[in-house]
Amino acid sequence: MEEKVLIFGHKNPDTDTICSSLVKEILDKKNGESDTKAVRLGNLNKETQYVLKYLGMEAPELIKKVEEGQKVILVDHNEFGQSVEGIEKAKILSVTDHHRIANFETAEPLYYNAKPYGCTSTILFEEFKQKGLEIEKKEAVLMASAIISDTLLLKSPTTTKQDRKALEELAKIAKIEVNQYGMEMLKAGTNLEDFTAKELVNLDAKSLEKDEIKFVIAQVNTVSIQEVLKRQEELETAMNEEIVKKGLHIFVLAITDILDSNTEIMVLGEKSEIVEKAFSVNLENNCAFLEGVVSRKKQLLPNIDKTIGNEELA
Ligand code: MN
Ligand code: MN
């Protein structure tokens, strides 16, 4: 078993998951706890690669599972379905997260810092403040990048005033011009050319379940929805493979235009009509345009979840 306490975010890591893991390790060290280590559960996306390259930092070590009794710290997730293999038998010391709490339980007491902010790093930023710890350039860039990523440059409806305040202060320490740095970072993440369709539909996919309906909402950011739709046929093949492999009832691929803040959804699965009801749309050629929708957490997931709940009552 790994001696150190392992810090990690969710599978299919995004920029908040990676940056917040690294920042949590830095925060713990500054707080006198040197036995923690950031790790990751999957490959870095191109946006996160951009951030680490900017800082000249190495990616955290990749782990596949944890042994029974392994001490762990979770950031940016809590649902076991999105966590590491073996999480049920691990000893969870703390959670820092900004998602709903679901499919999560522990045998022992723990620290749990949940805030409905736009980003885990905003919660960590406040922890630095509360503990009176100095924020240096490296962690400022990491936290600022995470906030820019999760809030799509403060344009997502998940954005809170705490995120705005944190980003403003972090940008000064990081010496970045938020819009310029942020656009470059976000655009780095939209370079999807050399991903296979299978990789694309898994890049940022979250597995969810409600009332025995199993579904995945995957999201890709782009500067041109049309460019992604050119690959519809192979994307659908990859989505159907996931549906069979995981026994899914619905697979939603959300193609989000980060410039115009809209989303085109591509939906497959025997229960696709739930998604049509959830957004009052008709799928045409398996697709529908959702104006002003950019957030999985606050727009896509709650509507689908609620609709499944209503279906069960009907
Ligand atoms: Mn995340
Ligand atoms: Mn997050």
Residue 46 to residue 145: CA distance in whole angstroms:
13
Q: What is the pLDDT of residue 312?
A: 61
Is-contact 206 218, C-beta < 8 A?
A: yes
Beta pairing class for 262-268 and 71-75: unpaired
**Distance in Å, CA 119 to ligand 2 centroid:** 5
**Distance in Å, CA 15 to ligand 2 centroid:** 8
Residue with tokens 């749990």: 112
Closest ligand to residue 158's CA: 2
Q: What is the pLDDT of residue 313?
A: 58
Residue 308 to residue 285: CA distance in whole angstroms:
23
**Distance in Å, CA 311 to ligand 1 centroid:** 29
**Distance in Å, CA 45 to ligand 2 centroid:** 14
Q: Over the stretch 84-118, which tens digit does the pLDDT of each residue have?
A: 999 999 999 999 999 999 999 999 999 999 999 99
Residue 22's SS3 state is helix
Q: Over the stretch 207-241, which tens digit does the pLDDT of each residue have?
A: 999 999 999 999 999 999 999 999 999 999 999 99
**Distance in Å, CA 295 to ligand 2 centroid:** 11
**Distance in Å, CA 288 to ligand 1 centroid:** 25
**Distance in Å, CA 172 to ligand 1 centroid:** 24
**Distance in Å, CA 17 to ligand 1 centroid:** 5
Residue 176 CB partners (closer than 8 Å, separation 6+)? 141, 144
**Distance in Å, CA 76 to ligand 1 centroid:** 5
**Distance in Å, CA 131 to ligand 1 centroid:** 24
Question: What are the structure tokens assigned to 296, written together?
Answer: 């999985």
- In single-letter form, the type of residue at position 115 comes to K
Q: Output the tens digit of pLDDT for each of the chain's 314 residues.
A: 778 999 999 999 999 999 999 999 999 999 998 899 999 999 999 999 999 999 999 999 999 999 999 999 999 999 999 999 999 999 999 999 999 999 999 999 999 999 999 999 999 999 999 999 999 999 999 999 999 999 999 999 999 999 999 999 999 999 999 999 999 999 999 998 889 999 999 999 999 999 999 999 999 999 999 999 999 999 999 999 999 999 999 999 999 999 999 999 999 999 999 999 999 999 999 999 999 999 999 999 999 999 998 876 55
**Distance in Å, CA 264 to ligand 1 centroid:** 20
Residues in the chain: 314
Is-contact 216 244, C-beta < 8 A?
A: no
Beta pairing class for 61-62 and 111-114: unpaired
Closest ligand to residue 97's CA: 2
- Torsion angle defined by CA atoms of residues 65, 68, 71 and 73, in that order, rounded to the nearest 10 degrees: 50
Is-contact 27 133, C-beta < 8 A?
A: yes
**Distance in Å, CA 314 to ligand 1 centroid:** 33
**Distance in Å, CA 16 to ligand 2 centroid:** 5
Structure letter (DSSP) for residue 67: -
- For ligand 1, a single-atom ion, which residues have Cβ within 5 Å? 14, 16-17, 76
Nearest one of 79, 122, 80, 114 to 94, comparing CA atoms: 114
Q: What is the pLDDT of residue 314?
A: 55
Alpha-carbon torsion (110, 116, 118, 124), positive or negative: negative
Question: What are the structure tokens assigned to 20, written together?
Answer: 């917040």
Question: What are the structure tokens assigned to 22, written together?
Answer: 């690294």
Closest ligand to residue 146's CA: 2
**Distance in Å, CA 124 to ligand 1 centroid:** 14
Closest ligand to residue 96's CA: 2
Burial class for 312, CB neighbours closer than 10 Å (0-12, 13-18, 19+):
exposed
Other beta carbons within 10 Å of 95: 22
**Distance in Å, CA 159 to ligand 1 centroid:** 14
Residue 285 to residue 19: CA distance in whole angstroms:
38
**Distance in Å, CA 216 to ligand 2 centroid:** 17
Nearest one of 271, 214, 270, 272 to 247, comparing CA atoms: 214
